[in-house]
Chain A
């Protein structure tokens, strides 16, 4: 079946511009996660959605970052006024539920480069 998809696969933007990253989770998965991975580093949790509950935004690094999930499916991560330190791979994952005993399925990521 179809896995998690993300678009675009690569995005180059100028400092100060806004960008939107899209994630299409696996159908039926109620939980959706966003992570950020800088070059050679581990994954940094950003935000997660579970069903109709309020999202857990505790990992967002600044108020320039926001995310929404429409209809319990597709999610968009928005970064406003991008900075060079925002350059990283942004990974989306989905799972049947939240927490440590649910396998997360990851998308291929979006590589963001801020020049």
Chain B
């Protein structure tokens, strides 16, 4: 199973860009990288997914270097509502190998 390492917590202020990096040194060739967001008392929800290079959607960007041993979730101009726990996962089709880990607790202050 591909193990991931993320910072336990991060603090930011409204309007700033936040970058959360995840290390996954033993990522396999077929593994995708997926980020989930979890608010208190809710189940996680999908944010973004990528395989290599850069992916952008309406809420975030995901940067993946060529060696794919790490990835960075970028949240532009965060607001108070972005306060949540963010999980990085790696896994491939046909394998249930999705280890959520402890995630990164992001606290956005006014």
Contact = CB atoms under 8 A, between A and B. Distances in A.
B45 interface: yes
Contacts, number: 77
A109 B96 contact: no
A43 B95 contact: no
Contacts of A48: 96
Contact of A45 (B46, B92, B96): B96
Interface size class on chain A is 20 to 34
Contacts of B100: 35, 42-45
A24 to B, nearest CB: 14
B49 interface: yes
Interface in B6-61: 31-34, 36, 41-46, 49, 51
B81 interface: no
A113 to B, nearest CB: 14
Interface residues of B, number: 29
Nearest to A58: B96
Interface of A: 4, 33, 35, 41-45, 48, 50, 56, 91, 93, 97-109
Given A91-B43, A104-B44, A105-B45, 17 more contacts: A33-B96, A41-B102, A42-B103, A45-B96, A45-B99, A45-B100, A99-B32, A99-B95, A99-B96, A99-B98, A100-B32, A100-B34, A100-B95, A101-B51, A101-B92, A104-B98, A106-B43
